[in-house]
Amino acid sequence: MRRVVFNKKGGVGKSTIACNLAAINAREGRKTLVVDLDPQSNSTQYLLGPKMHQVESTLYDFFSDSLKMTFRKRETREYVHPTPFENLDIMPAHTDMAELKNKLEQRYKIFKLKEALEQLDAYHSVYIDTPPALNFYTLSALIAAESCLIPFDCDDFSRKALYSLLESVHEIREDHNPGLKVEGIVVNQFQPRANLPKRMVKELVEEGLPVLEAYLSHSVKIRESHDKALPMVHLDPRHKLTEEYMALYRKLEG
């Protein structure tokens, strides 16, 4: 299963959700890959820590190589690197990816990621992290994925943007990827004692939107998780937020 975590709004937890679900999947003994398409490289830093700066052959190199005319193309696995966590690999991002975007759009390299990931059939699951914009990298991810998770952080701006996000996924399904489905809306930073988040989530459910029932709480523990480059299942397996991630994972895996 190839899942893309997609939202045009920044700060909604795309990288955190992608990496924590991937870490749980790997902990279950399943070969797992994270693809970091965001030049900010948050998923790369989360899973590799300071060692991210030692990595060669990033997604910058992958996309840069796709622009070159050469008889010898590197195999996709050459851009894949192990993380410190068993069964969990990553195709890391690089800040220079932002410089390539216009050239890739002009040369219509939008299907290159899909072609590459289809060669990596050893993985049970692939989690694709995306930039906070509907640009070349995000479109590449949505074309390469089988399903889409949309983080929702319970504020009015996210609510207004949600319908546009769903329309974007529908358009890409119609034009480029008929197999793409919205697997669910992931409620993040949920505060169960606050009236506004409860009301917003209730209204989304009543509208028939695919809200996943396992909600992720607001917790300062996630900052420690980022700082130590340890997904929650490795940092504190018994923490409430870890249990919520586990519940979300079980919901997705059926």
Q: What is the value of pTM for the model shown?
A: 0.95
202-244 pLDDT, tens digit each? 999 999 999 999 999 999 999 999 999 999 999 999 999 999 9
* Residue 71: pLDDT over 60: no
CA–chain centroid gap for 252, Å, is 14
Cα four-point dihedral sign 127, 130, 132, 133: negative
Buried b (16+ CB within 10 A) or exposed e, 74-96: eebeebbbebebebbbbbbbbee
Instruction: Indicate if the pLDDT at residue 46 is higher than 60.
Output: yes
pLDDT of 70 reads: 67
- Given a cut of 70, whether residue 72 has pLDDT beyond it is no
Task: Give dist(CA 208, CA 215) in Å, integer.
Answer: 17
Residue 22: pLDDT band (50, 70, 90) is very high
Q: Tell me what the pLDDT averaged over the chain comes to.
A: 94
User: What's the mean pLDDT in 158-162?
Assistant: 83
Instruction: Work out whether strand 125-129 and strand 81-82 pair parallel, antiparallel, or are unpaired.
Output: unpaired
Q: Does 68 have pLDDT greater than 60? A: yes
Would you state the structure tokens that stand for residue 121, as one six-digit string?
């059939």
Amino acid 192: pLDDT: 81
Total of domains in the chain: 1
% the chain with pLDDT above 90: 83
- Per residue in 132-149, pLDDT tens? 999 999 999 999 999 999
Helix (H, G, I), strand (E, B) or coil at 144: helix
Range of the structural domain that residue 48 is part of = 2-253
Among 6-10, 43-47, 247-251, which stretch is predicted with the lowest mean pLDDT? 6-10
Q: What is the mean pLDDT of residues 19-23?
A: 98
Does the CA dihedral 220-127-23-247 come out positive or negative?
positive
pLDDT at residue 62, as a whole number: 96
- Residue 181 pLDDT: 96
List the CATH number of the domain containing 34: 3.40.50.300
Quote the pLDDT of residue 254: 82
